[in-house]
């Protein structure tokens, strides 16, 4: 209620029919509610800015952790927390350029964690070590980014190095937690399928020649 409106209720006529007292009560109540809301707003801002002392800072951290856990739980239920990506670049792409691009991709803000490995398709016996190099990448989505936006962004990251709409050379899948564990084992473990022994020995030699790690990133992703 504005002061002009209050003046109307304070008129002589209002005094006579008792409306002034009602208006004054409404005014007083509204002012008290406004003060309460204003103090609540200030308190909330101080809480968010961590200006209320250590106790409230700890409570805020606990609240944020709970919210993050809830969001991750929802993402796991929808199987879109983890992204499994295999990228095979065009033959014209140099490995050093590809390596730099992968490093750039996994550290983008749309991901909160990653684990990846570089492989190739040659063997020492066939003298074609390094041919068909590619990367297997396990990524944990930053929950501030929607799954569809993540896919759009990651395609844009590699679109000049491969055909991102061809899933045979740019394969991506959203993972359940169980599938994630399988992919961690795939990146770090021994592959036993037919022909994999020679291929894996080739990977090890090729990585050694190129000063590459067995894998990169966080095993606890």
Q: What is the pLDDT of residue 26?
A: 85
Give yes or no: residues 164 and 210 share one domain: yes
- Residue 35 falls within a domain, yes or no? yes
Q: What is the pLDDT of residues 57-90, one digit of tens each?
A: 999 998 888 887 888 888 888 889 999 999 999 9
Q: What is the pLDDT of residues 3-23, one digit of tens each?
A: 665 565 555 555 556 676 777
Give yes or no: residues 37 and 85 share one domain: no
Classify strands 216-217 and 134-141 as parallel, antiparallel or unpaired: unpaired
Structure tokens at 145: 């980014």
Q: What is the pLDDT of residues 37-47, one digit of tens each?
A: 999 999 999 99
Q: What is the pLDDT of residue 93?
A: 97
Q: What is the pLDDT of residue 124?
A: 77
Q: What is the pLDDT of residues 89-122, one digit of tens each?
A: 999 999 999 999 999 999 999 999 999 999 999 8
- Residue 75 falls within a domain, yes or no? no
d(CA 99, CA 43): 49
- Residue 57 falls within a domain, yes or no? no
**E strands in 161-209:** 170-175
Sequence-separated (6 or more) residues with CB below 8 Å from residue 139: 82, 83, 84, 85, 106, 111, 113, 114
Q: What are phi and psi of 169, to 5 degrees?
A: -120, -10
Give yes or no: residues 141 and 191 share one domain: yes
Q: What is the pLDDT of residue 1?
A: 47
- Residue 94 falls within a domain, yes or no? yes
Count the residues in the chain: 221
Q: Give start and end residues of each alpha helix (H) in 10-116.
A: 12-17, 19-48, 54-77, 95-106
d(CA 21, CA 137): 73
In degrees, rounded to 5, the angle at the alpha carbon of residue 64 between the alpha carbons of residues 63 and 68 is 120
The domain containing residue 42 runs over which residues? 3-48
Residue 127 above 90 pLDDT?
Answer: no
Q: What is the pLDDT of residues 140-180, one digit of tens each?
A: 999 999 999 999 999 999 999 999 999 999 999 999 988 99
**Contact assessment for residue 217 and residue 113, using Cβ atoms and an 8 Å cutoff:** yes
Give yes or no: residues 178 and 98 share one domain: yes
d(CA 106, CA 85): 11
The SS3 of residue 83 is strand
d(CA 184, CA 219): 7
Give yes or no: residues 36 and 103 share one domain: no
What is the tally of structural domains in the chain? 2
Give yes or no: residues 148 and 98 share one domain: yes
Structure tokens at 48: 């968010």
Give yes or no: residues 117 and 42 share one domain: no
Longest dimension (CA), the chain: 109
Give yes or no: residues 99 and 43 share one domain: no
Specify the CATH number for the domain of residue 113: 3.30.70
């Amino acid at each position: 209620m504005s002061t002009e409106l209050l003046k109307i209720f304070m008129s002589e006529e209002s005094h006579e029919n008792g409306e002034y007292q009602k208006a004054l009560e409404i005014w007083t109540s509204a002012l008290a509610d406004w003060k309460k809301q204003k103090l609540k707003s200030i308190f909330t801002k101080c809480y968010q800015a961590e200006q209320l002392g250590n106790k409230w800072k700890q409570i805020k951290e606990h609240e944020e952790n709970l919210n993050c856990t809830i969001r991750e739980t929802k993402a796991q239920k929808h199987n879109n927390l983890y992204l499994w990506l295999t990228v095979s670049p065009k033959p014209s792409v140099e490995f050093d350029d590809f390596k730099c691009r992968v490093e750039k991709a996994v550290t983008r803000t749309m991901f909160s964690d990653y684990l990846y490995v570089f492989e190739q398709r040659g063997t020492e016996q066939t003298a074609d070590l390094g041919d068909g190099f590619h990367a297997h990448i396990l990524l944990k989505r930053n929950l501030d980014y929607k799954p569809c936006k993540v896919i759009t962004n990651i395609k844009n990251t590699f679109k000049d190095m491969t055909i991102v709409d061809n899933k045979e050379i740019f394969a991506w899948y959203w993972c359940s937690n169980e599938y994630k564990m399988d992919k961690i084992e795939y990146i770090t473990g021994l592959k036993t399928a037919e022909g994999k022994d020679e291929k894996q020995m080739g990977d090890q030699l090729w990585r050694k020649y190129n000063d590459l790690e067995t894998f990169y990133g966080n095993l606890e992703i």
